[in-house]
Amino acid sequence: MKLKIHRGAAQIGGNIVEIATKSTKIILDCGRNLPPLDDPKAADDMEIDGLTRGESAYAAVFVTHYHADHCGLAERVNADIPIYMSEDTKNVLDVIADFINRPLPRVNKILNPGHEERIGDIKVVPLNVYHSAMGAMAFLVEADGQKLLYTGDFNRIDETFYTLIDQVDILLCEGTNIGARNGMTEQDVELDAARIMRETDGPVFVLCSTTNIERVRRIERACNKSGRTMAIDPFMKAVTDKAASQLLLVNPVGFVPNFITEEKTPRIYKYLARDFMTFAGARAVSKMTNLTFMVRQSMGEFLERLNRLSALKGSTLIYSMWRGYENTAYTKKFLDLCRSLGMNIEYLHASGHAYREILETTVSRLNPKTLIPIHTESAETFCEMYDNVVTLCDGEVFDCERL
């Protein structure tokens, strides 16, 4: 068995990993490069012979989760190469495609945790991990008498995960936060958010990723603890409906932040029409008390309408995202608007990636013969911590029989 990291060996995002035997080749993740912060639509010109162009040379593509830096190039994969992913991943990608009016993703087979897939002489077992994307998976790959575990992205792993794995030969481990210790946890976010909600007299707004179901769950718990009701827009309603097995919002208020018509936005309208009676406009929600609105940067005009109906001075925005987004014109404009409306801004965020302590536990429990970092800009930190680390360059082939 041979391993090649086409991209992602020494950067965060854009993961594309090849596993090959003499007769079979597969791809783990087909991620788009993380674009420049102020150019989210920047092109990614990555092409791979046999995968995105030319005669197909790969038997399958396995996707760990729905973040674009792990699946963003799936639409370019040759049509005769099957794509595998979890049902949650497919469901969220379907909703996103509807709301941005893009083609629905091509998915050839749904993966079930713990159920092995045989691709030629390669066995792949998908395993659940926790990340800021529901349905995220790691992949245990077995071929030529070798076991490789690719973690994908994760922030924690439960005990069941380890009961399904014997010692692995190779651990291909993400290391986004290998240099960070004792970061804020989702439990911390929940408790601090509840405190902020209790201390705020007016409405509270939470700026976070709509598809971060763990964060949404924690904010709802904070609402319950503080006597507030969560308010969500049609996109969040569509996503949370897909997450019903993991998240059941209790009587949220629905609000419509912008004008939706069947003629101009038919794919979005179908979600609104299905639950039409549960959504209200700005005027109606402005009269409700103790609401916590889940918002995005695109909702500036909605906040201005609310402010005209009922002044937002003294209300609070909880910024629950990576602080780096503050440097983008898109986010800065939104935050400047909030400040101009007299809103207080509180920062409250937990990373979707494992901090150093969790990474140390993972390596210790799996006890790999070889540890290969990926999705990190700090591979040297792994080298300082362990004596069995092999660092690869993008495009370099690692022969697992070297072990």
The CATH number of whichever domain residue 86 belongs to comes to: 3.60.15.10
Neighbouring CB atoms inside 10 A of 246's CB total 14
- Based on the fold, state whether residues 25 and 166 are members of the same structural domain: yes
Q: Is 290 left (phi over 0), alpha (psi -120 to 50) or beta?
A: left
Strands (E), 228-369: 229-232, 253-255, 279-280, 291-295, 316-319, 344-347
Number of domains the chain contains: 2
- Based on the fold, state whether residues 233 and 248 are members of the same structural domain: yes
- Based on the fold, state whether residues 280 and 306 are members of the same structural domain: yes
pTM, entire model: 0.94
| HSE (side-chain half, CA atoms, 13 Å) at 303 | 30
What strand order describes the sheet that includes 2-7? 109-111, 83-86, 60-62, 25-30, 16-20, 2-7, 397-399
- Based on the fold, state whether residues 366 and 340 are members of the same structural domain: no
- Based on the fold, state whether residues 250 and 389 are members of the same structural domain: no
- Based on the fold, state whether residues 290 and 372 are members of the same structural domain: no
Query: Could you say which of 347, 370, 390 is where a domain stops?
Result: 347
- Based on the fold, state whether residues 145 and 203 are members of the same structural domain: no
Range of the domain at 155: 2-180+352-402
CATH number at residue 215: 3.40.50.10710
- Based on the fold, state whether residues 29 and 176 are members of the same structural domain: yes
Query: Could you say which of 331, 347, 363 is where a domain stops?
Result: 347
- Dihedral pair phi/psi, residue 232, rounded to 5°: -130, 155
- Based on the fold, state whether residues 233 and 292 are members of the same structural domain: yes
Q: Under DSSP, is residue 332 helix (H, G, I), strand (E, B) or coil?
A: helix
- Based on the fold, state whether residues 364 and 225 are members of the same structural domain: no
- Based on the fold, state whether residues 229 and 175 are members of the same structural domain: no
- Based on the fold, state whether residues 97 and 216 are members of the same structural domain: no
Query: Could you say which of 347, 363, 389 is where a domain stops?
Result: 347
* Residue type, position 387, single letter: D
Q: pLDDT per position in the chain (403 positions), as tens?
A: 999 999 999 999 999 999 999 999 999 999 999 887 777 778 889 999 999 999 999 999 999 999 999 999 999 999 999 999 999 999 999 999 999 999 999 999 999 999 999 999 999 999 999 999 999 999 999 999 999 999 999 999 988 899 888 889 999 999 999 998 878 999 999 999 999 999 999 999 999 999 998 999 999 999 999 999 999 999 998 898 877 666 667 788 989 888 777 888 888 888 877 765 577 888 999 988 899 999 999 999 999 999 999 999 999 999 999 998 998 989 999 999 999 999 999 999 999 999 999 999 999 999 999 999 999 999 999 999 999 999 999 999 999 876 6
